[in-house]
Amino acid sequence: MIRLVINGAQGQMGQRLCAVSEAADDIDLVARIGRNNAANAGLNPAADIDLVIDFSSDDGALQAVDLSKKYGAALLVGTTGLSAQTSTTIRSCAQHSPIMIAPNTSRGVALLTHVLQQVAKVLGGASDVDIIESHHAGKRDRPSGTALRLADALRASGAAISDDRIHSIRAGKIIGKHCVYFSGIGEILEFSHTAISRDLFASGALDAGRWLCQQPPGDYDIAEACGLSASVCE
């Protein structure tokens, strides 16, 4: 049984993660921590915690770091738009716990990233590469964390993609769509992933968390949890 704390339980992702966790036979949801601890279910200082999953904010992610350090728990941060300083602080936890920063916890996106790296090795230097990401109107960060990860993976594999070729759309209630185009002479290769439910990310976060709990201290990538090589050269 994995003893789980969800940080950011009041948000859209946090609520779905709570629901999916409660339906899982191998998860004991120890506490839900919301904004200003308003949704705290009563976290016992003496509690045993195996895993902290964070879908909150830049400041909230630092709270998740404190929880991981205090309880020696694995830490998965799904929050996007993290500052460089916060990312560095999270990664410092790898000295004592298994940690993962995963702006997208979809197995499909992990596989897409893996495929795109292979394509970039062949076509990256001979094609114009564009990323178009679409999300709901309320999403604050742009480009999305997933788009930035895709860009990093493409660059690491030989594609010259400048920041101005990463395009963002904020409209309606789009959960998430990412398209990558390789435009060459006489042909265009198009790859896309569309999320149709936030439960995709909730289930993916739990699967990655299950895997993370079995690892020694270190800094891991979502691709490794999906059985693939690490996606991004940090």
- 135 in active site: yes
Catalytic residue among 69, 114, 121, 139: 139
Q: How many CB atoms lie within 10 A of CB 222?
A: 30
Report whether 75 contacts 97 (CB < 8 A). Answer: yes
Q: Residue 201: name the closest of 65, 20, 64, 5 by CA.
A: 20
Amino acid at 56: S
- The b/e string for 145-159 (b: 16+ C-beta within 10 A; e otherwise) is bbbbbbbbbbbbbeb
Strand partners, 189: 182
Alpha-carbon gap, residue 20 to 114, rounded angstroms: 27
Alpha-carbon gap, residue 37 to 46, rounded angstroms: 18
Catalytic residue among 135, 167, 173, 177: 135
Active site positions, annotated: 135, 139
